[in-house]
Amino acid sequence: MTALANPVTLPGSLPGLLRPGSQVFYQGAYGVVVAANPGATQRPLFCRILGGKQRLDLPDLSEVELDLATPEGWDRAVRWLGERLGLPEGRNAPRWHASGYDYVLEADRDITVAATWVCFYPAFYQSIEVDFTSKNPILRIPGLKASTNSYQSAVTGLRTVCLAMADQPPVYARFLEEKQRSSHESV
């Protein structure tokens, strides 16, 4: 992994992002979340070293940041994005990479509904395409790639997409809702 000049982080306030074991920054110090509410609406319990001793804190969610440069932070962010999109959880986190001018999120397993769904995301000012038909469900987000360094590009792209998805209902749930609505209308 190429080191980044500046740490790339995600706010701990993203719903459901933090979980026990997440490595985060808080007040300039680095530590580990040891207990977190799954809905992430409450303060996480956080352990760090302060003055040479371990200290437990209950920081406000807005004060903690997940470090995307650690394997754990990357893994959690990609899983979180997969959860927001309704991709099935596998043993591996979905693969996240920059491909040409697109970003691709690719899950491990088959899912039950086969369709390609394109939806407009105001946060991106464009549509993203979720292809549930392939063996590995794929999310393709066009035109965000800005850097020639593929790791730098992938990690900053991951941050951008996670932030944009934060206030969106899960994609898969929206897809099912639309499908249900259109079947009611046809009856």
- Judged by CB under 8 A, the residue of 93, 128, 139, 141 near another protein is 93
Q: Is residue 95 part of the contact set for another protein (CB under 8 A)?
A: yes
Query: Using a CB cutoff of 8 Å and minimum separation of 24, what contacts does 100-103 make?
Result: 100/145, 101/142, 101/143, 101/144, 101/145, 102/140, 102/141, 102/142, 102/143, 102/144, 102/145, 103/140, 103/141, 103/144, 103/145, 103/154, 103/157, 103/158, 103/161
Q: Is residue 83 part of the contact set for another protein (CB under 8 A)?
A: no
- Judged by CB under 8 A, the residue of 48, 139, 141, 165 near another protein is 48
The count of residues interacting with another protein (CB under 8 A) is 34
Cα separation, 71 vs 154, whole angstroms: 13
Return the range that interacts with another protein (CB under 8 A); candidates 5-13, 92-100, 118-126, 176-184.
92-100
Site for another protein in 110-149 (CB under 8 A): none
Cα separation, 153 vs 174, whole angstroms: 28
Residue with Cβ nearer another protein (107 or 175): 107
Q: Is residue 169 part of the contact set for another protein (CB under 8 A)?
A: no
Residue with Cβ nearer another protein (79 or 165): 79
Q: Is residue 44 part of the contact set for another protein (CB under 8 A)?
A: no
Return the range that interacts with another protein (CB under 8 A); candidates 6-14, 67-75, 135-143, 160-168.
67-75
Cα separation, 182 vs 162, whole angstroms: 29
Q: Classify residue 81 by its DSSP letter.
A: H
- Judged by CB under 8 A, the residue of 8, 10, 14, 22 near another protein is 22
Q: Count the neighbouring beta carbons within 10 Å of the beta carbon of residue 119.
A: 13
Q: What are phi and psi of 96, to 5 degrees?
A: -120, 120
Q: What are the residues binding another protein (CB under 8 A)? A: 1, 19-23, 30-32, 34-35, 45, 47-49, 52, 54, 56, 71-72, 74-76, 78-79, 91-93, 95-97, 151, 154-155
